Amino acid sequence: MTRTFRSFGAPVAPVVVEYFTDIAGSASVADLVRTNLYTNDTPTWIVYSNLFGVNVGINGSTLPGLNYALGTVAADNYGVRAYTYFVPPTNGNYKFWIRSDDGMRLYMNTNSADIITPTSKNCPNGQDVFQAMDGNVNTKYLNFDKVNTGFTVTRQAGAIVQGMRFTTAGDAPERDPITFTLEGTTADPRFGPWTLITTASTGFTNGIPRLTRADFISVANSTSYTAYRLKFPTLQNVTAANSMQIAEVEFLDANTNKVLFAPQLIAENAANVAAYGVGSTPANSITNISLVGGQKYYMEALLKEGGGSDGFSVMWTDTTSNAAPAATIFIPYANLEYPALAASVQSPVKVITEMYLGYLTFATPASANFNTLAGIAEATNFPVNDYVGSVANYKYIAGNPDNISYQKYFGFEPSTYNTRYDGYLGKAYSYFVPPTNGVYKFWARVDDVCSLYMNTNAVNSTDPYGKKTDR
């Protein structure tokens, strides 16, 4: 029997969901955004959904156990980042309701589908890139990478930026950026090419008071770019500073009107709130949002699960309603749209991963321990019997995985944390595109064991049947 090679292209369900597994700490979102999986932008896996929510029953999700005899294990200590475009059905004022177990934050660009992408996520909790354009001088964007940090704002349609204005943060003047560069592109913002628009002073002179809005900076530009990249190459005192920080950044037209916008926090649950509410943190609740029917608005949710029950969902009502929606009601599919622009920038999937669950410890002496190369050979070939433990082999032979997910990188749980899955066979595949001609050596790190295959032929290099193994 010949096993047919199958590939699963990335779907375009309207919601992109990134999972970050085995995150220690509390049930607060603060413990998601500070983990290295999140700050390094390396989710354990990416999946797609027709629902803006995760485990919406909030009844405690489970994963397969080590083997059939041990049943299941709880899906605990993980985080989620989910994003989509919300498309309101009509013009009007909207109130959004959230329910979650455990902590949750809901962000929304209440002006447009513009997205903002930092140069890195090396930021403390509550001081991420959204705070750079939230209209609140008492918040700030702080990045520990210091020099040449900043962000990119990407739009569905172009905008002409002809002015900039910056506001100092509330402390540590040594962190103030004193110069900036502004670039624009109409191409893919991941690759450019970028056109330098200006290099100028931020207006943060030495000794400028805290929480001060500097003067308007005129920018000579007549091009409608679809993405703008802002960086801060110099700081007030780079030696003394441990980071770059800024309270507000404004992208303006010649009449000082804002032309670029960013998502803002509109609701937050500090911990488990299983019934719909407008957030358990009133200071972070925005309950009267004017939206245009049919227009796309970027929406993002962060969830941190501790233990026990888990999940989240979102719904809306008219702003005059004080009656919470029923827990069985969610944002309808018709009001969600695949965030093509955001996904291409934030989750550019290039790797497909498959998981085949239910492997027992192999019985034959040569591979009695499944985490050996002999175990891989046994897991991917016809079993020696037709017992229930052999079902996993047949799933692999048929190319019928239990889970399909996607990655931004060639790997699976790169920090080798506990995914809470055991007794499984994983498969990841992609195209490798070498940057230059040359001789290459490939290195692998793994827990437990892997075989790396590659088609090294120049003639049919994209054909999976031409692969060779290097174990």
Q: What is the CATH number of the domain that holds 309?
A: 2.60.120.1560
At which of 278, 311, 346 does a domain end?
A: 346
Asked if residue 103 and residue 119 are part of one domain, the reply reads no
Query: Does one domain contain both 399 and 317?
Result: no
Same domain? 380 vs 342: no
Domain boundary among 346, 364, 393: 346
> Interior CA angle at 54 toward 48 and 56, to 5°?
135
Domain that holds residue 82: 15-108+291-346
Per-residue pLDDT, 380: 85
SS (H, E, C) the chain: CCCCCCCCCCCCCCEEEEEECCCCCCCCCHHHHCCHHHHCCCCCEEEEECCCEECCCCCCCEEECCCHHHCEEECCCEEEEEEEEECCCCCEEEEEEEEEECEEEEEECCCCCCEEEECCCCCCCCCCHHHHHCCCCCCCEEECCCCCEEEEEEEEEEECCCEEEEECCCCCHHHCEEEEEEEEECCCCCCCCCEEEEEEECCCCCCCCCCCECCCEECCCCCCEEEEEEEEEEECCCCCCCCEEECEEEEECCCCCECCCCCEEEEEECCCEEEEECCCCHHHCCCCEEECCCCCEEEEEEEEECCCCCEEEEEEEECCCCCCCCCCCCCCHHHEECCHHHHHHHCCCCEEEEEEECCCCCCCHHHCCCCCHHHHHHHCCCCCCCCHHHHHHHHHHHCCCCEEEEECCCCCCCCCCCCCCCCEEEEEECCCCCCCCCCCCCCCCCCCCCCEEECCCCCCCCCHHHCEEEC
Distance CA(373)–CA(365), nearest Å, equals: 13
- Asked if residue 130 lies in contact with residue 142, where contact means CB atoms within 8 angstroms, the answer is no
State how far the Cα of 202 lies from the Cα of 250, in Å rounded to an integer.
11
In a domain, 232, yes or no: yes
Cβ(235)–Cβ(213) under 8 Å? no
Look at residue 318 in the predicted model and tell me its pLDDT.
Answer: 87
183 and 135 share a domain? yes
Give the tokens for residue 236. Answer: 């007030």
pLDDT at residue 73, rounded to an integer: 60
Q: What is the dihedral of CA 191, 193, 199, 205, to 10 degrees?
A: -10
Task: With respect to residue 135, please indicate whether it lies within any of the assigned structural domains.
Answer: yes
188 within a domain of the structure (yes/no):
yes
- Please provide residue 379's backbone torsions phi and psi, each rounded to the nearest 5 degrees: -70, -25
For residues 257 and 326, give the distance between their C-alpha atoms in angstroms, rounded to a whole number: 41
Q: Give the strand order in the sheet containing 217-218.
A: 217-218, 163-167, 248-252
Tell whether 22 and 121 lie within a shared domain.
no
295 within some domain: yes
State residue 257's pLDDT score.
96
- The answer to whether residues 98 and 171 belong to one domain is no
Q: Which two tokens stand for residue 222?
A: 């007549």
338 and 460 share one domain: no
pLDDT of the residue at 443? 93
The residues pairing with 180 across neighbouring beta strands, listed in sequence order, are 200
Q: Residue 299's beta-bridge partner residues?
A: 84, 108
Average pLDDT by stretches of 10, the chain with 471 residues:
53 89 85 90 90 88 53 76 96 96 95 91 93 95 97 92 98 97 94 96 95 98 97 98 98 96 94 94 93 96 90 93 93 94 81 83 50 78 74 84 87 76 84 93 89 85 68 51
Which one of 311, 346, 381 terminates a domain? 346
The verdict on residue 284 lying in a domain is: no
User: Domain count of the chain?
Assistant: 3
For residues 171-204, b (16+ Cβ closer than 10 Å) or e, as one string? ebbebbbbebbbbbbeeebeeeebeebbeeebbb
Read off the CATH number of the domain in which 235 is found: 2.60.120.260
Residue 439 lies inside a defined structural domain of this protein: yes
Pair 166, 219: CB distance under 8 Å: no
Same domain as 190, residue 78:
no
Q: Is position 144 within any domain?
A: yes
The answer to whether 46 touches 413, Cβ cutoff 8 Å, is no
Same-domain pairing of 78 and 29: yes
Q: Is residue 428 domain-resident?
A: yes
Burial 3-20 (b: 16+ CB within 10 A, else e): eeeeeeebeebbbbbbbb
Q: Could you tell me if 63 and 180 lie in one domain?
A: no
Q: CA-to-CA distance for 125 and 34, rounded, in angstroms? A: 6
Provide the whole-model pTM.
Answer: 0.85
C-alpha to C-alpha distance for 346 and 267, rounded to whole angstroms: 22
Same domain for 201 and 241:
yes
Do 131 and 214 share a structural domain? yes
